[in-house]
């Protein structure tokens, strides 16, 4: 085990080319996914937060529940969509990074929407009277709150990214774990471990943990700095 650890550290320090390729692909996939999920999820969360419509409570409950979507299930559903035998097969993106981005975006969209909804609704409670007094309509209010809660929302986005970067079920199924094409940190760890080949798995595991820690630290620091600067 200790030789595996030493070998892992050697890969890290030596900036092994394969390792770097895998890490970069992972970052590219998860960052794209979180960007898409944020573009769709933040406005959705804001709309639900300030909106009043029949069934609103149900929507909120369902959205919160979808946060717990199992990644493998998302992977399966997206696979069925993108398979040649499925409705979107003609897109031909199955077993490419694009399919992985789609699957992860679907996975974290509920997280971003639900958490932003909560943050914006809390802010709306504080701001509603004042904004209405100034003559702001619901649309103005939603946009204003989106910007005003930007630090909470950044934390939400970081949470979404962390979830995407750490999952293996969805990307494994829709990506196919193809060497050099769709192999990311999590799927490589799964593969190498099943082969009993630990150094690469350990090396990637350490990087993944480092990323998770960095993301959480960033979220914490954001909140602290924002509080101090903006109140």
Footprint on this chain of another protein (rule: CB under 8 A): 25, 28, 31-32, 35-36, 39, 83-86, 89-90, 92-98, 101, 126-127, 129-130, 132-136, 140, 144, 148, 150-151, 176-182, 191, 193-198, 226, 229-231
Report in angstroms how near the CB of residue 160 gets to another protein at its nearest: 14
Residue-wise DSSP of 193-206: HHTT-HHHHHHHHH
Report in angstroms how near the CB of residue 197 gets to another protein at its nearest: 5
Q: Could you tell me how far CA 127 lies from the centroid of its own chain?
A: 29
* Residue closer to another protein, measured from CB, 117 or 124: 124
Residue 55 and residue 220: Cα distance in Å, rounded?
Answer: 34
Q: Which residues lie below 8 Å from residue 44, measured CB to CB, with a gap of 6+? A: 113, 116, 117
* Residue closer to another protein, measured from CB, 61 or 225: 225
* Residue closer to another protein, measured from CB, 126 or 224: 126
Residue 213 and residue 55: Cα distance in Å, rounded?
Answer: 38
Report in angstroms how near the CB of residue 91 gets to another protein at its nearest: 11
For the packed helices 198-230 and 150-166, what is the interaxial angle rounded to 10 degrees? 170
* Residue closer to another protein, measured from CB, 61 or 147: 147
Residue 141 and residue 127: Cα distance in Å, rounded?
Answer: 9
Report in angstroms how near the CB of residue 228 gets to another protein at its nearest: 8
């Amino acid at each position: 085990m200790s030789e595996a650890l030493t070998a892992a550290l050697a890969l890290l320090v030596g900036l092994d080319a394969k390792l770097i390729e895998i890490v970069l692909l992972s970052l590219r996939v998860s960052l794209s996914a979180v960007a898409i999920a944020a573009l769709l999820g933040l406005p959705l969360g804001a709309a639900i937060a300030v909106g009043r419509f029949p069934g609103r409570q149900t929507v909120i409950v369902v959205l919160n529940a979808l946060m717990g979507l199992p990644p493998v299930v998302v992977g399966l559903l997206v696979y069925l969509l993108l398979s040649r035998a499925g409705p979107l097969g003609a897109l031909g993106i199955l077993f490419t990074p694009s399919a992985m981005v789609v699957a992860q975006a679907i996975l974290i969209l509920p997280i971003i929407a639900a958490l932003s909804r909560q943050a914006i609704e809390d802010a709306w409670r504080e701001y509603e009277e004042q904004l209405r007094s100034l003559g702001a309509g619901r649309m103005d209010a939603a946009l204003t709150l989106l910007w005003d809660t930007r630090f909470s929302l950044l934390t939400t986005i970081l949470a979404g990214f962390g979830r995407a970067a750490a999952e293996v079920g969805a990307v494994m199924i829709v990506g196919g774990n193809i060497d050099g094409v769709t192999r990311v940190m999590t799927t490589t760890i799964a593969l190498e471990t099943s082969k009993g080949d630990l150094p690469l798995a350990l090396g990637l595991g350490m990087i993944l943990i480092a990323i998770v820690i960095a993301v959480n630290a960033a979220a914490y620091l954001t909140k602290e700095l924002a509080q101090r600067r903006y109140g």
